[in-house]
Structure 1
Amino acid sequence: MVTFDPRGGQQNLAFEFELARLSALVVDMEKIRQGTRPGRLTEDAPILDRWVVGHRQIPCLIGLSTGHPRLKGEDRPIVTSDLWLMSEDRGWARTLSRWYQLGRPAANASFDA
């Protein structure tokens, strides 16, 4: 998760780094969709040997949702998709799926970012 300035000020280095990284991913996905083979996208890809698919924890939000376009109801308990952005004032958050306007944090909420 990356924090951002909700007033539209200059964004921090972590924000700019993640934006560049995600933009490059989208460009590669577009090229794959257009039929470009992976070997043509890069000539200097490292080799990963003896690999397995792993799993790791990804930040998300857990709370009571009202007005969600797919999960109808008021104060409906939900777990969001991957959390990518949060405003420094903790008023807004962007998950992989959508924006959330943040209300009151839970009594035992902790913020690591």
Structure 2
Amino acid sequence: MNNFLLFQPSDSHRPSLPEQLRRLADDLENIEQCLKRTVPEVAINDWAVMERSVPCLVGRTTGHPGITDNRVACTTELFYLDKEHGLARTMSRWYRLGARVPPDFWNDRVRGVQ
């Protein structure tokens, strides 16, 4: 049986879960300040709100530090979505929202429907 360590030590590329939760909590507590000063480097285009066991976004990212531009990706858990300001906050980062598509756009592609 594989063990899963929830609070894994952070490495140089990824903050630990407690650090991620602290950053998220700080951002959500200060959402008005974040909306005024935050211009995310990472964008997600052709996005839709989907669900894994938690809400998330799926779409093509640009500017992501670990994903090639325009590659389809599913985000970490979605905690904040502001369509008016074009911003979303997931567990790991802020996203600048680009064009939105209906959820079936990605469901159809996953199933191979064109």
Question: TM-score, normalization: structure 1?
Answer: 0.44
Q: Tell me which structure has the larger Cα radius of gyration.
A: 1
* Higher RCO, Cα 8 Å, sep 6+: 1
Question: TM-score, normalization: structure 2?
Answer: 0.43
